[in-house]
């Protein structure tokens, strides 16, 4: 999130699209309700069906799964058409005024493509997407936003096709409902008003997922809603500590704190890495990457990492291909990957095309799995229908401790890090994950030291001493960062081992070590507001100067305890807050001051050049309305790979850079894709409050099983009537990947879509269904896994699977 | 003096936290359930389920609502169950909480018949069964804590405090955002008032609550119900216990005395008739002299 | 000669037919007992059709019908002992026995119906004076005692215990008075107990004067019971039917029912509910059935002299009246209570068996008493003692 949970209470309008906060983050409703009660804020919900969030919304608009860009593009069109954008904000804080390469062309001109597409590679050459530069190498700009080649005008031309009529035809949203919602949300474009956008997997789990989020960012920038209280582009993270896990580099394309994972091709050496990353950083703060990376390397290899050996950079694994989830499972299926180490993960239920993935697991030589329960993955070798004698995988099930049974920190969607003590006793054999990994490491190290083996140094030379038994607090200190030797110079005086208080202290000379640069200072002892000094993330101080819900003494937020990032934008170009009643930071004549940590040079005068360069992480220090991703610099609507309709916006049916997998295509279990002729119903998956992810932690609890006992599929009464299905009856849902049984929940909350059919030149009815994906065969409450139906196809940039829009058929059991 | 819960259904998103918290605090077993085509489970209150979130899809003024309402003992100020219970197992504590003393209960189930909200439930599966219902977490209240459901509610739909305070809070909300609510605070007066107060966007009869109307509200019934019921039951502002209590207080002695008087009168009349007959015929003519 | 024959006849041997009937009754009673055992082994949920939507079923309805049925005992006692009309004395023993057996059945069925019957003594230990069920329980317990005492002379006579017989006889007026007070209290309380259901009981039945209406119908119903038991027992055991006496009672029934009908109508009119009489629906039909069976038919039959003064007419009127009473009590206690849509009550065979067993047991005792005790007067052709 750019903002944070409590901040929702400051919003004047909350737009929840592709997410269901009441369902999956029930506590967030407390803050949204505060905004509704105290500010008269409106809650707007856009979702294929009327969810528990929509049940308390002021306005609800239905939309077809996979058409978010069309919808939000429609909002952008509405805002531009009616001049409801925040002009001063755009001119000062975004790249709206920048001039783009004269040869740039967009889908409006090229029938769905941007300039530079190579059909053979299924990729773009981005040369024509660059800015026009002046002599200093800075982008040329037109602050009047009139020039036809400026980003603003390009944006306007690009979204000219996204009319309310188009929204109705593509998304199935009735025109009047769309316009009512647009009018309401556009009010937040007024200076002094703030609208918050909430999104989650409904936006990201699509082949255009990255662009879905981009279009939300563009929407918010047009309305001037980024960087101020009650605004922001806010991801509702899907697990209680997924924010922490991505911060710690568990995604394949990043190291900790989102440093790029080195690739064999582009980053063969430390020098190459640093040069390339610093160049890409432009004027943005990431130009300090050398400080971050070298400190990280020092954290990994400690004293063994010296300037002479490039701080052990060569020990870091280099990625040589696509290591995304879907790729991993194809590699497992092909036998390239022989062993799988799973920590609290259940691919047998949560993976796309899960029949394929379960079959792939059987190809593994070995599997190690840390788990609380014997899940469908841990027990895949004895799943219903599997003869254990045919499975050659050696499975090691290691009982693990639950989050409440160990101490450690958890990071919320709002980047708030809170340390929690152990509050429950563990079952006898269960251990913390760090204990398990520590023991594995020690054993490995011993073997490497005794027997040699291939490339022992990266393992043996790791700086690994967290105590015996290992303490999470020791790991925390390393993540926080410390001085590796005594330092005394112009910028700092410190002793070896002193904890860092800020990432500004990080150096590229090996004198600092830091596990995650954005976390620097999170464990540093600070006052909790009452005079008690604690590691910052352990604090629970309740003082809230300013009353905006900042709570600076409660826990610690990365980076630098800054609660709202890009908060320079909460004030105008002169440093005066847009909203008097929600003043966050302001220029007092000599410095920036206020209730939050300024995301800006504290002494940078707003009136001087650079005084409005608010987006300090960006190469151009301006927010990017126009910014290159793999499928284009602007979000364009493409249909999901399995779609019920022809793309009405252009001649390109689906995302032209998406990788299409074809292992075992045509086989009963394989990378199969279906079409409308066999699978005429649009399907999506979702979660329910009562169950958790792949279900092990909730389907084993009787009180939760009581509330949601069975796998179900929701559908409209019209579809039910057509198929002769009664509520509570068992039905079979089938896709090109498999079929499952589920209980029919018939509800008016699901509407039959009316989509435009180009062939017949009229509207056509298309049904839709949705189902939770929490169920599997193991546990107290069992049921079919929805992911047996989802496709093995992912986003053009991140490869996140398209769980949210695919095609099925349905019949009575 | 009496504490009350204010349920603001416009804030409720049916997370079921209250339902599970109640089970946890009171150590109630989970029932075996099936998805009957709804997110609501268990479908009804029972001896093992003392509160649940009722989820109804309702069409009102052209809009589809997915309404949520926490159902539980209404903690009436003048409880029918308390007037009904012959052994005083259902009683009201000095703090105004309606509690059940299972050491007194004889299982007659009159409380179940009397309750206008149909709250008390019976342990049908046991050879010797008790009545069960929400007891307002009287044990938590005794320690100055709010009920478990209120404590858990994440969205602020449930609030707890002095009844007058909750009424004032509710009425302030009705005044501040009139377009958000149906203009009525349920429980302030219904049946003499309850300690569970409800705000809603929908009319209360659509939520299945007995309503303050003089005309019975017709509601479509399923074919299974063989008799025509008058839709929703209705409730006045006076307590349902008013007649019962007044009669018990006054009526019993009155009847006893009245009948005694009548008997005495009949005796006198009978004796007089016999005496007159005797005077007329000269024979004794009373029952007493008949041979057995 | 005649005395010996009557003595002989009052003792076995009996005809095969009668023996078969007695054995059958015993068998049904045993079945009922078996069902009761099942109820205690498996719980009410498994053995009845009762549920949270229908916590009370045919057992309670049976109880609330049998109590006013048994009111014959107290109304007849009032006529005999307080109006000092010794002509009716001859009707007393079988009616008191029938009343006694009625209350005994009620107690037996209640013990099965209560969730925690082993705790029934809590009624004595704890009291809630606001509860009409409390009042009913106490009155029923005490009245049962009164009935036993009222009936005891018959038994004592048979046993030949003169002393106790005289003692009991001396206190007859006390028992009778107590019985009348207790009966008036609990017969009306059986109506009062529904006052709490103001929100749930159909307005065709619910009224603030429900206790009064219940008392009135109890008196009328009790008199019908007197007629019913007297005619039936006389016919079965070959005794003269005291038609003249019963005809007088029948006239009283007609008058009481007329008063009841007027009260009911006036009550509905005052409440503005006359329109409900014509609202289409099953409950309206049930109401009219109750009116026809319980008010109109008995009035017509008992006003018609020819019918009133014939055994058949008397029996018909009494049966119809009792059916009307039963329907009224069934409506108030079961049919006319609001239930949520989709809920249903189907009595199980065990529920029916227990009622059948209770009725069979009571009938069996009555039949044995008719043979073993001086219950009924002398047979045809014999002179009364």
ipTM value for the complex: 0.92
Residues A362-409 have pLDDT tens digits of: 999 999 999 999 999 999 999 999 999 999 999 999 999 999 999 999
β-pairing, B63-71 with B90-92? unpaired
Using a CB-CB cut-off of 8 Å, the residues of chain B touching A38 are none
Contact between residue A311 and residue A297 where contact means Cβ atoms under 8 Å apart: yes
- CA gap B116, B93 in Å, rounded: 20
Does the pLDDT value for residue C21 go beyond 80?
A: yes
* pLDDT score of C12: 57
Chain C residue nearest residue B221, CA to CA: C341
Contact between residue C247 and residue C314 where contact means Cβ atoms under 8 Å apart: yes
Nearest C-alpha neighbor of A808 from the set A787, A792, A789: A789
Residue given tokens 């070995």 in the structure block:
A366
Distance from CA of B241 to the nearest CA of A (A): 35
C-alpha pair distances (Å), C287 with each of B4, C39, C144, C218, C261: 41, 33, 32, 18, 12
In this complex, do A706 and B31 lie within 8 Å of one another by their Cβ atoms?
A: yes
Using a CB-CB cut-off of 8 Å, the residues of chain B touching C153 are 292
Q: Of A451-465, B86-100, B219-233, where does mean pLDDT reach its minimum?
A: B219-233
Residue given tokens 């230990």 in the structure block:
C125
Nearest C-alpha neighbor of B19 from the set B6, B10, B28, B7: B28
Using a CB–CB cutoff of 8 Å, tell me whether C369 touches chain B: no
Q: How many CB pairs under 8 A join A and B?
A: 109
Structure tokens at A421: 């003590």
Q: Using CB atoms, which chains have 3+ pairs under 8 A with C? A: B
Using a CB-CB cut-off of 8 Å, the residues of chain C touching B123 are 43, 115
Nearest C-alpha neighbor of A145 from the set A137, A154, A132: A154
Average pLDDT over residues B35-46: 94
Strands (DSSP E) along C133-285, which ranges?
none
Q: What is the DSSP letter of A585?
A: E
- The mean of the pLDDT values for chain A is 96
β-pairing, A13-17 with A42-46? parallel
Residue given tokens 């024509």 in the structure block:
A128
Contact between residue B105 and residue C118 where contact means Cβ atoms under 8 Å apart: no
Structure tokens at A752: 């039959």
Contact between residue B252 and residue C135 where contact means Cβ atoms under 8 Å apart: yes
Residues A735-758 have pLDDT tens digits of: 999 999 999 999 999 999 999 998
Q: Of A121-130, A529-538, A619-628, C136-145, where does mean pLDDT reach its minimum?
A: C136-145
* pLDDT score of C10: 54
Distance from CA of C365 to the nearest CA of B (A): 23
Question: Of C52, C195, C211, which has the smallest distance from its Cβ to B121's Cβ?
Answer: C52
For an interface test with B, the pick among C63, C116, C157, C173 (most B C-beta atoms closer than 10 Å) comes out as: C116
In this complex, do B35 and A745 lie within 8 Å of one another by their Cβ atoms?
A: yes
In this complex, do A706 and B14 lie within 8 Å of one another by their Cβ atoms?
A: no
For an interface test with C, the pick among B31, B37, B124, B250 (most C C-beta atoms closer than 10 Å) comes out as: B124
Helices C58-69 and C210-236 pack at an angle, to 10 degrees, of 80
Distance from CA of C106 to the nearest CA of B (A): 14
* CA distance between the termini of chain C: 15
Using a CB-CB cut-off of 8 Å, the residues of chain B touching A705 are 30, 33
Does the pLDDT value for residue A665 go beyond 70?
A: yes
φ, ψ of residue A714 in degrees (nearest 5) = -95, 140
* pLDDT score of C380: 56
In this complex, do B15 and A22 lie within 8 Å of one another by their Cβ atoms?
A: yes
φ, ψ of residue B280 in degrees (nearest 5) = -75, -45
Using a CB-CB cut-off of 8 Å, the residues of chain A touching B16 are 689-690, 707
In this complex, do B84 and C165 lie within 8 Å of one another by their Cβ atoms?
A: no
In this complex, do A745 and B20 lie within 8 Å of one another by their Cβ atoms?
A: no
Q: How many CB atoms lie within 10 A of CB A782?
A: 18
Distance from CA of B113 to the nearest CA of C (A): 7
* pLDDT score of B226: 40
Q: How many CB pairs under 8 A join B and C?
A: 238
Does the pLDDT value for residue A649 go beyond 60?
A: yes
Chain B, 57 to 116: residues with Cβ < 8 Å from chain C are: 80, 82-89, 104-110, 112-114, 116
Using a CB-CB cut-off of 8 Å, the residues of chain C touching B42 are none
* pLDDT score of B229: 52
Residue C169: pLDDT band with limits 50, 70, 90: confident
In this complex, do C43 and B124 lie within 8 Å of one another by their Cβ atoms?
A: yes
* CA distance between the termini of chain B: 66
Distance from CA of B258 to the nearest CA of A (A): 57
- The mean of the pLDDT values for chain B is 87
Chain C residue nearest residue B261, CA to CA: C181
B and A touch with 3+ CB pairs <8 Å, answer yes
φ, ψ of residue A9 in degrees (nearest 5) = -70, -15
The H or E element containing residue A487 is: strand A487-488
Q: What is the DSSP letter of A378?
A: T
Using a CB–CB cutoff of 8 Å, tell me whether C159 touches chain B: no
Does the pLDDT value for residue A685 go beyond 60?
A: yes
Residue given tokens 């809590």 in the structure block:
C122
Query: In this prediction, what percent of chain B has a pLDDT beyond 90?
Result: 68
Distance from CA of A789 to the nearest CA of B (A): 21
Average pLDDT over residues C304-308: 91
β-pairing, A195-199 with A233-235? parallel
Q: Of A777-791, B272-286, C101-115, C358-372, where does mean pLDDT reach its minimum?
A: B272-286
- The mean of the pLDDT values for chain C is 90
Q: Of B42-51, B217-226, C51-60, C132-141, where does mean pLDDT reach its minimum?
A: B217-226
In this complex, do B156 and A688 lie within 8 Å of one another by their Cβ atoms?
A: no
Using a CB-CB cut-off of 8 Å, the residues of chain A touching B14 are 22, 52, 55, 689
Distance from CA of B224 to the nearest CA of A (A): 17
Query: In this prediction, what percent of chain A has a pLDDT beyond 70?
Result: 100
- CA gap A167, A70 in Å, rounded: 6
- CA gap B95, B136 in Å, rounded: 11
- CA gap C130, B84 in Å, rounded: 7
Structure tokens at A81: 């058409």
Does the pLDDT value for residue B220 go beyond 70?
A: no
- CA gap B28, B46 in Å, rounded: 11
For an interface test with B, the pick among A29, A59, A748, A813 (most B C-beta atoms closer than 10 Å) comes out as: A29
β-pairing, A533-535 with A233-235? unpaired
Structure tokens at C107: 């107690």
Structure tokens at B179: 């377009």
Does the pLDDT value for residue B162 go beyond 60?
A: yes
Nearest C-alpha neighbor of B136 from the set B128, B127, B145, B123: B145
In this complex, do B208 and C195 lie within 8 Å of one another by their Cβ atoms?
A: no
- CA gap C194, C217 in Å, rounded: 15
Chain C residue nearest residue B235, CA to CA: C199
In this complex, do C128 and B86 lie within 8 Å of one another by their Cβ atoms?
A: yes
* pLDDT score of B217: 45
Chain B, 179 to 208: residues with Cβ < 8 Å from chain C are: 191, 208
Average pLDDT over residues C350-374: 94
Residue B284: pLDDT band with limits 50, 70, 90: low
For an interface test with B, the pick among C71, C198, C275 (most B C-beta atoms closer than 10 Å) comes out as: C198
Query: In this prediction, what percent of chain A has a pLDDT beyond 90?
Result: 98
Question: Of C55, C196, C335, which has the smallest distance from its Cβ to B83's Cβ?
Answer: C196
Residues C92-102 have pLDDT tens digits of: 999 999 999 99
- In this structure, the dihedral spanned by the alpha carbons of residues A417, A418, A423 and A428, taken in order and rounded to 10 degrees, is 10
Average pLDDT over residues C176-180: 88
With 0-12 / 13-18 / 19 or more C-beta atoms within 10 angstroms meaning exposed / middle / buried, residue A730 is: middle
Distance from CA of C316 to the nearest CA of B (A): 29
Residue A335: pLDDT band with limits 50, 70, 90: very high
* pLDDT score of B65: 96
In this complex, do C196 and B225 lie within 8 Å of one another by their Cβ atoms?
A: no
Residue A519: pLDDT band with limits 50, 70, 90: very high
Q: Using CB atoms, which chains have 3+ pairs under 8 A with B? A: A, C
* pLDDT score of C350: 96
Write the Ramachandran bin of A100: left for phi over 0, alpha for psi from -120 to 50, otherwise beta: beta
Residue B290: pLDDT band with limits 50, 70, 90: very low
In this complex, do B24 and A703 lie within 8 Å of one another by their Cβ atoms?
A: yes
Residue B1: pLDDT band with limits 50, 70, 90: confident
Write the Ramachandran bin of A311: left for phi over 0, alpha for psi from -120 to 50, otherwise beta: left
The H or E element containing residue A28 is: helix A28-39
Residues B10-27 have pLDDT tens digits of: 999 999 999 999 999 999
Using a CB–CB cutoff of 8 Å, tell me whether A743 touches chain B: yes
* pLDDT score of B280: 79
Residue C1: pLDDT band with limits 50, 70, 90: very low
What Rg do the C-alpha atoms of chain B give, in angstroms?
A: 26
Using a CB-CB cut-off of 8 Å, the residues of chain B touching C157 are 292
Using a CB-CB cut-off of 8 Å, the residues of chain B touching C186 are none
Contact between residue A22 and residue A43 where contact means Cβ atoms under 8 Å apart: no
């Amino acid at each position: 999130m750019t903002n944070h949970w409590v901040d929702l209470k400051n919003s004047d309008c909350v737009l929840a699209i592709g997410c269901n906060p009441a369902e999956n983050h029930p506590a967030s409703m407390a803050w949204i309700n505060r905004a509704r009660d105290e500010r008269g804020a409106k809650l707007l919900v856009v979702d294929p069906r009327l969810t528990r969030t929509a049940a308390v919304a002021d306005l609800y608009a239905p939309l077809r799964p996979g058409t978010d860009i069309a919808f939000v593009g429609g909002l952008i069109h509405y805002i531009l058409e009616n001049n409801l954008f925040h002009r001063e904000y755009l001119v000062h804080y975004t790249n709206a005024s920048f001039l783009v390469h004269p040869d740039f062309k967009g889908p409006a001109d090229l029938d769905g493509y941007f300039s530079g597409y190579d059909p053979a590679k299924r990729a773009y050459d981005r040369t024509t997407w660059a800015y026009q530069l002046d002599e200093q190498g800075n982008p040329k700009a037109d602050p009047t936003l009139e020039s036809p080649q400026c980003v603003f005008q390009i944006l306007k031309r690009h979204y000219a096709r996204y009319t309310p009529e188009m929204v109705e035809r593509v998304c199935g949203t009735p025109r009047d409902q769309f316009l009512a919602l647009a009018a309401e949300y556009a009010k937040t474009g007024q200076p002094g008003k703030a609208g918050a956008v909430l999104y989650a997997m409904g936006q990201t789990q699509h082949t255009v997922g990255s662009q879905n989020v981009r279009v939300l960012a563009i929407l918010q920038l047009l309305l001037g809603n980024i960087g101020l209280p009650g605004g922001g582009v806010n991801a509702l993270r899907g697990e209680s500590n997924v924010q922490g896990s991505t911060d710690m580099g568990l995604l394949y394309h990043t190291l900790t704190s989102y440093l790029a994972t080195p690739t064999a091709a582009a980053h063969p050496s430390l020098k190459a890495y640093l040069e390339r990353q610093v160049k890409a950083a432009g004027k943005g703060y990431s130009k300090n990457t050398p400080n971050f990376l070298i400190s990280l390397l020092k954290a990994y290899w400690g004293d063994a990492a010296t300037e002479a050996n490039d701080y052990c950079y060569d020990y870091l694994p280099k990625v040589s291909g696509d290591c995304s989830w879907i790729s991993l499972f194809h590699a497992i299926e092909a036998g390239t990957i022989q062993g799988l180490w799973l920590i609290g993960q259940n691919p047998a239920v949560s993976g796309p095309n899960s029949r394929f993935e379960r079959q792939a697991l059987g190809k593994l030589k070995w599997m190690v799995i840390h788990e609380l329960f014997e899940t469908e993955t841990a027990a895949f070798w004895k799943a219903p229908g599997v003869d254990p004698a045919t499975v050659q995988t050696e499975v090691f099930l290691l009982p693990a401790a639950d989050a409440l049974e160990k101490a450690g920190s958890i990071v919320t969607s709002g980047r708030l890090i809170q340390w929690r003590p152990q509050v429950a006793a563990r079952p006898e054999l269960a251990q913390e994950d760090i204990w398990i990994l520590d023991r594995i490491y020690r054993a490995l190290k011993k073997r490497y030291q005794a027997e040699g083996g291939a490339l022992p140094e990266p393992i043996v030379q790791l700086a690994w001493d967290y105590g015996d038994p290992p303490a999470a607090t020791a790991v925390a200190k390393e993540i926080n960062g410390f001085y590796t030797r005594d330092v005394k110079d112009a910028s700092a005086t410190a002793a070896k081992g002193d904890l860092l208080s800020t990432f500004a202290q990080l150096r590229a000379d090996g004198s600092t070590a830091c596990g995650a640069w954005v976390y620097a200072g999170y464990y540093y002892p600070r006052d909790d507001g009452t005079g008690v000094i604690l590691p910052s993330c352990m604090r629970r101080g309740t003082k809230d100067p300013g009353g905006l819900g900042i709570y600076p003494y409660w826990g610690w937020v990365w980076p630098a305890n800054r609660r709202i990032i890009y908060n320079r934008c909460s004030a105008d170009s002169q440093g005066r807050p847009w909203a008097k009643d929600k003043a966050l930071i302001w220029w007092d004549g000599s410095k920036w001051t206020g209730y939050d940590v300024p995301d800006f040079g504290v002494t940078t005068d707003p009136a001087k050049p650079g005084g409005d360069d608010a987006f300090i992480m960006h190469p151009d220090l301006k927010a990017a309305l126009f910014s290159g991703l793999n499928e284009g610099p602007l979000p364009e609507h493409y249909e999901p790979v399995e779609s019920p309709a022809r793309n009405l916006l252009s001649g390109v049916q689906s995302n032209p850079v998406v990788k299409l997998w074809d292992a075992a295509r045509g086989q009963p279990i394989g990378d199969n894709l279906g079409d409308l002729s066999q699978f005429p119903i649009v399907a999506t998956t979702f979660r329910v409050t009562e169950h958790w992810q792949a279900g092990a932690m909730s389907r084993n609890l009787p009180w939760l099983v009581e509330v949601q006992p069975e796998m179900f599929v929701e559908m409209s009464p019209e579809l039910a009537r057509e198929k002769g299905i009664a509520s509570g009856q068992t039905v079979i849902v089938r896709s090109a990947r498999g079929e499952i049984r589920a209980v029919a929940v018939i509800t008016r909350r699901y509407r039959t879509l009316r989509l435009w059919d180009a062939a017949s030149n009229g509207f056509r009815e298309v049904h839709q269904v949705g189902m939770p994906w929490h169920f599997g065969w193991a546990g107290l409450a069992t049921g079919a896994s929805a992911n047996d139906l989802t496709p093995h196809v992912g986003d053009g940039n991140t490869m996140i699977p398209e769980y949210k829009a695919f095609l099925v058929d349905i019949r009575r059991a | 003096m009496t504490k009350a819960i204010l349920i603001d259904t416009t804030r409720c998103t049916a997370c079921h936290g209250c339902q599970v918290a109640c089970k946890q605090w009171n150590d109630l077993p989970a029932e075996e359930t099936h998805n009957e085509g709804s997110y609501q489970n268990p479908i009804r209150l029972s001896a093992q389920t003392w509160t649940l979130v009722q989820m109804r899809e309702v069409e009102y003024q052209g809009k589809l609502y997915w309404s949520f309402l926490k159902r539980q003992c209404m903690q009436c100020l003048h409880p029918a169950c308390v007037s009904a219970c012959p052994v005083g197992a259902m009683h009201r504590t000095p703090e105004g909480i309606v509690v059940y003393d299972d050491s007194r209960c004889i299982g007659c189930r009159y409380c179940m018949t009397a309750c206008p909200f149909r709250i008390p439930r019976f342990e049908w599966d046991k050879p010797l069964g008790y009545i069960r219902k929400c007891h307002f977490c009287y044990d938590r209240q005794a320690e100055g804590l709010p009920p478990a459901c209120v404590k858990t509610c994440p969205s602020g739909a449930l609030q707890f405090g002095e009844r007058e305070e909750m009424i004032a809070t509710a009425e302030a909300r009705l005044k501040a955002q009139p377009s958000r609510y149906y203009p009525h605070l349920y429980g302030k007066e219904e049946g003499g008032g309850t300690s569970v107060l409800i705000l809603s966007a929908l009319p209360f009869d659509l939520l299945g609550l007995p309503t303050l109307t003089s005309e019975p509200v017709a509601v479509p019934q399923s074919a299974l119900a063989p008799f025509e019921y008058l839709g929703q039951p209705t409730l006045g502002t006076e307590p349902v216990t008013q007649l019962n209590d007044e009669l018990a207080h006054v009526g019993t002695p009155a009847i006893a005395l009245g009948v005694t008087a009548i008997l005495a009168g009949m005796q006198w009349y009978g004796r007089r008739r016999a005496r007159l007959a005797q005077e007329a015929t000269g024979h004794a003519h009373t029952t007493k002299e008949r041979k057995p | 000669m005649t005395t010996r024959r009557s003595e002989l006849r009052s003792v076995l041997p009996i005809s095969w037919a009668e023996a078969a009937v007695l054995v059958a009754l015993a068998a049904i009673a045993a079945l009922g007992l078996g069902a009761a055992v099942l109820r205690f082994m498996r719980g009410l949920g498994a053995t009845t059709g009762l549920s949270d939507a229908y916590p009370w079923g045919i057992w309670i309805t049976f109880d609330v019908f049998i109590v006013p049925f048994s009111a014959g005992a107290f109304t007849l006692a009032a006529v005999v002992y307080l109006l000092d009309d010794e002509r009716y004395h001859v009707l007393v023993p079988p009616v008191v026995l029938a009343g006694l057996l009625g209350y005994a059945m009620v107690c037996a069925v209640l013990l099965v119906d209560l969730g925690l019957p082993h705790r029934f003594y809590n009624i004595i230990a704890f009291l809630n004076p606001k509860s009409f069920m409390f009042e009913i329980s106490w009155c029923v317990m005490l009245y049962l005692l009164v009935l036993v005492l009222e009936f005891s002379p018959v038994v004592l006579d048979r046993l030949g215990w003169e002393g106790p017989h005289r003692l009991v006889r001396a206190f007859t007026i006390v028992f009778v008075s107590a019985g009348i007070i207790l009966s008036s209290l609990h017969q009306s309380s059986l109506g009062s107990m529904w006052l709490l259901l103001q929100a749930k009981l159909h307005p065709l039945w619910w009224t603030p004067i429900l206790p009064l209406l219940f008392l009135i119908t109890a008196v009328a119903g009790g008199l019908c019971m007197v007629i019913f038991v007297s005619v039936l027992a006389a016919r079965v055991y070959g005794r003269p039917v005291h038609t003249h006496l019963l005809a007088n009672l029948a006239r009283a029934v007609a008058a009481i029912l007329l008063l009841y009908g007027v009260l009911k109508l006036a009550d509905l009119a005052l409440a503005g509910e006359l329109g409900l009489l014509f609202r289409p629906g099953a409950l309206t039909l049930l109401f009219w059935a109750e009116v026809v069976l319980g008010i109109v038919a008995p009035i017509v039959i008992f006003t018609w002299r020819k019918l009133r003064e014939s055994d058949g007419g008397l029996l018909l009127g009494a049966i119809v009246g009792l059916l009307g009473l039963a329907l009224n009590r069934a409506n108030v206690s079961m049919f006319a209570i609001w239930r949520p849509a989709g809920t249903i009550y189907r009595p199980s065979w065990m529920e029916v068996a227990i009622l059948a067993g209770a009725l069979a047991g009571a009938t069996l005792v009555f039949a044995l008493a008719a043979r073993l005790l001086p219950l009924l007067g002398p047979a045809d052709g014999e002179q009364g003692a």
